[in-house]
Structure 1
Amino acid sequence: MVSLSAVRTHNSSLKYFSPGLVAVFVGGTSGIGFATAREFVRSTNSPHVYLVGRNPTEASRIIDELQQINPSSKLDFIKSDVSLLRNVDEVCKEIKEKENKINLLFMTVGYLTFQGRNETTEGLDRKLSLHYYARMRFAQQLAPLLTTAAKDPDPKANLSRVVTVLDPNISRNFTPNFEDLDLKTTFSLKNCGTHASAMNNFAIEHFAKAYPDSSFCHAYPSGVNTGIMREQGPVMSAIWNVVGKTVFKPFMVDLTESGERHVYASTAPQFAPKANAGGVQDAAKGSDEVTGSGAYQLSWNGEVFGPSKKLETMRSNGAEDKIWGHTEQVFKKICEEGGKV
């Protein structure tokens, strides 16, 4: 476990970076995304932060708060429902028109539901789209800007990292249905969790090979009181406020601590890109058990998850190619052909 004091010591050193780091927080107007953006703004010199979300009122409040924390920061809000991949492309287009580099892409977008499949106009389940397809579309579309940041001649400006916050551990226990990856016919909330976990895991391995100058992390946040139960209506929210917070409080991570730990995951040098991991002291083991592979599965406490026989079996059976091949087909159908899956 990386102690909280070590996390805070590391984060306090981020003033080392040159002014003007650019970070995109998808899902940045609430919960872990907001908490991490707040700590990133607090810890860096004159950062330029993009918050992508659906709530302009909340975004305005957050921007005011972040501006007070660091008056030298530049803050932009982009309103979008990114459960639709074509909207993701519009957001990325707007960012690419303004920026030539991105240092951090941090993604927490998603939602809690107890309902069944909720299909978008593009033919994807909304939950699975937010937890996987939209995130990987952001990573794909913004990867060139991340590479530009990685190759900045200023060594104090070449941070280049993607962090997707979900749960890499589920697929260590359950195997997805490779014949129905988008869950058109076998949807359940359990299957959705398994698929999102496995697909994030193997997609970041794909990206680490395709873009070796950037590093990619799939991070498990543990239990964090993010206020997500508000989406379930006033009754469920009230029950959670009275019962859930009391029963589960000893097992939960404080929201501010979660933000601090995710800034650590977003910037710590041991989670190095594949291209330069050889020059990093104590580079972490990647998800494929190769030191400095560029793709890392992280626990809430800053440690990498250890070996997994189930993931290794899936890997040896071509899981990465199957998942990314499917993902590219979805992207082509929706984003290039304007259709639906």
Structure 2
Amino acid sequence: MVNLPTVKAHNATLKSALRPGIVAVFVGGTSGIALSTALALARYTLSPKIYLIGRNQSAANSAISTMKSINPSATLTFLKADISRLKNVDSVCAEILAKEKTLNLLFMTPGYLTTRGRDETAEGLDRKFVLHYYARMRFVANLLPLLTAAAQDTTLGSSRLSRVVSVFDPRAGVRIGGTGKLDYSDLSLKHTFTLGKCGAHASIMGNFFLEGMAQKHPLTSFLHAYPSGVNTGLLRDSPVTSAVFSVLLKPFMVPIEESGERHLFAATSGRFPSKAEGEGIQKNVDVAIGSDGTKGNGSYWVSWDGEVFSPNRKLERVRAEGAVDKVAQHTEEVFRTMCEEGRTYP
């Protein structure tokens, strides 16, 4: 475990370690882990430019007011969008691309808990699956030019930061006896949807899509992070009330402020370098083992405490089956069908 004092000590260095005016996008940023991390970023950096993406204008107003009180020099923008529709993801990204030349951090947490079954959007995908996987990966694909530009900004020297953090659970597909397998005949779960399979597919596909992106885009680092138990408001769409949930699980929960500190550490620490950076790091430097077992490979499956997960034979077997390429091909097909051709996904 990376202890909390170490996390806070690292975060306290960011005002000197990072240039003023870094740009960060928080998807799902008006509440929960994304908001707590955005607040921490505002606290520890100089004149950051922070984009919050969500659906709730009132929550956004409150978040921006709090952030302004923490750091009056911050530039704060709320982009309102229902990102369960990929065309809305594209619209939001177009706004960011029009305003910014670089992007240092893309941080994503959208999702919700539900007991309902498949809830198909007008685009032909399940809403929960979109929020946990497809929308996040669309943000990555769309904003990569800005992330790459940030990594190539030679004026920043050693303070360059280009990182993607998707907060879900890299191990959801293998927990509690999960097989870790992907149904390649129905990756979108159009015909075989269950809530369990949805969670497993979103987790495993997120693992291997981001791993593939780290290979293809070696200047950016990609983290798939497990949040542990944090009371984030995800239960707002569940019949179980958030209040009851909080009381029952409070002894096992990570406080939301600590979660923000820890996720800011994951989002900025040199322990998680890009592939290009990792290849040049000396052996005795504290660099994490990447998702494929290679030190500093640019893709990391990170637990709530700042440590990477140990190898898992089920996930290694999925990788050996060609999951990186198969998941990328499927995801690109979905994007091409829906976003470029404007058709409903079959």
Q: What's the CA shift for 1:311?
A: 1.1
Alignment of structure 1 residues 275-294 onto 2, 5 Å = 275-280=276-281, 281-294=285-298
For residues 118-157 of structure 1, the aligned pairs below 5 Å read 118-153=119-154, 154-157=156-159
Alignment match, 1:86? 87
Question: 1:51-81 CA deviation, whole Å, 9 max, x = no partner?
Answer: 0000111101110110110011000000000
Equivalent residue runs for 1:176-255 within 5 Å: 176-232=182-238, 236-237=240-241, 240-242=242-244, 244-255=245-256
Long gaps (5+) in structure 1: none
The two structures have a TM-score, normalised by structure 1, of 0.96
Partners of 2:288 and 2:255 in 1: how far apart?
25
Q: Provide the rounded CA distance (Å) in 2 between the counterparts of 1:179 and 1:194.
A: 15
Tell me what 1:302 maps to: 306
C-alpha separation in 1, matches of 2:85 and 2:157: 37
1:84 & 1:313 partners in 2: Cα distance?
32
Going from structure 1 to structure 2, the CA distance change for 1:216 and 1:145 (only over 3 Å counts) comes to same
1:157 offset after TM fit, Å?
4.3
For the residues of structure 1 that align with 2:236 and 2:185, how far apart are their CA atoms?
A: 35
Partner of 2:272: 271
Distance 2:182 2:111 in 1: 19
Matched, 1:319 2:318: no
User: What stretches of structure 2 of length at least 5 have no aligned partner?
Assistant: none
Distance 1:227 1:123 in 2: 27
More deviation, 129-138/277-286: 277-286
- Cα distance in 1 for partners of 2:150, 2:130 equals 27
Query: Counterpart of 1:170 in 2: which secondary structure?
Result: coil
2:59 equivalent to 1:75 = no
In 1, Cα distance between equivalents of 2:28 and 2:321: 33
Is the 8 Å Cα contact of residues 23 and 48 (structure 2) preserved in structure 1?
Answer: yes
The DSSP-based 3-state class of the residue aligned with 1:97 is helix
Look up the equivalent residue of 1:197 and give its one-letter code. S
Runs of 4+ in 1 over 6 A off after TM superposition: none
Which whole-Å CA distance do the structure 2 matches of 1:169 and 1:119 have between them? 25
CA contact (8 A) 1:159 1:267 kept: yes
Letter in 1 for 2:248: V
Q: Deviations over 1:91-134 (max 9, x none)?
A: 01000000010000000011111100000010000000110000
Q: Report the Cα offset of residue 156 of structure 1.
A: 5.0
- Which residue is 2:168 aligned to? 166
Question: Which amino acid is 1:58 matched to?
Answer: A
- Report whether the alignment pairs 1:12 with 2:12: yes
1-side partners of 2:149 and 2:247: how far apart?
47
Q: What amino acid sits opposite 1:268 in the alignment?
A: S
Identity of aligned residues (%): 53
Distance in 1 (alpha carbons) for counterparts of 2:248 and 2:340: 48
How many residues get paired? 336
Aligned equivalents of 1:209 and 1:276: distance in 2? Answer: 13
Q: Is the 8 A contact 2:112 2:235 kept in 1?
A: no
Q: Deviations over 1:122-175 (max 9, x none)?
A: 000000011000000000000110010011111254100000000001233421
Compute the TM-score of the two structures, normalised by the length of structure 2: 0.95
